[in-house]
Amino acid sequence: MAALRNELNIPAGEDDILTEKISTAVAYVDSALGDATIPQSVYDDCVVGCAADLYNRKSAQLGVMSTGMDGMEPYRIPLDPLRSVWPKLNAAGVLTGRSVII
């Protein structure tokens, strides 16, 4: 929870939604890993990245989030909840996701 708060730069609060996003992220990352094993620090980083993406999607209607800054273009939120996880898993030696060539 603390790592996700730090990643999102949000103060205390919203524990229910953060817990929900972490739980969902764990399910996604575990599914992507399959039977592979990775160091706990890499796993935690993958879960935090995925949970942060899931959290940010809540304020992005139709995949577009306004930054709220004048003169700035809207920011597109990726629809793939594992977008930040695939390169981390590949770097850790787990060939999974869109980078697998069969």
Per the listing, tokens 């030696």 go with 93
Q: If we measure between CA atoms, which residue out of 88, 74, 90, 27 comes closest to residue 54?
A: 27
Contact at 8 Å (CB) between 7 and 48? Answer: yes
Q: What is the pLDDT of residues 44-75, one digit of tens each?
A: 999 999 999 888 877 666 555 555 555 555 66
pLDDT digits (tens, 9 = 90+) for 37-46: 999 999 999 9
Per-residue model confidence as pLDDT tens digits over 10-21: 887 778 889 999
Going from the C-alpha of 40 to that of each of 15, 45, 47, 76, the distances in angstroms are: 23, 9, 10, 30
- 18: Cβ contacts below 8 Å, ≥ 6 apart: 1, 4, 5, 51, 55
Residue the block writes with tokens 């959290």: 55
pTM, full prediction: 0.77
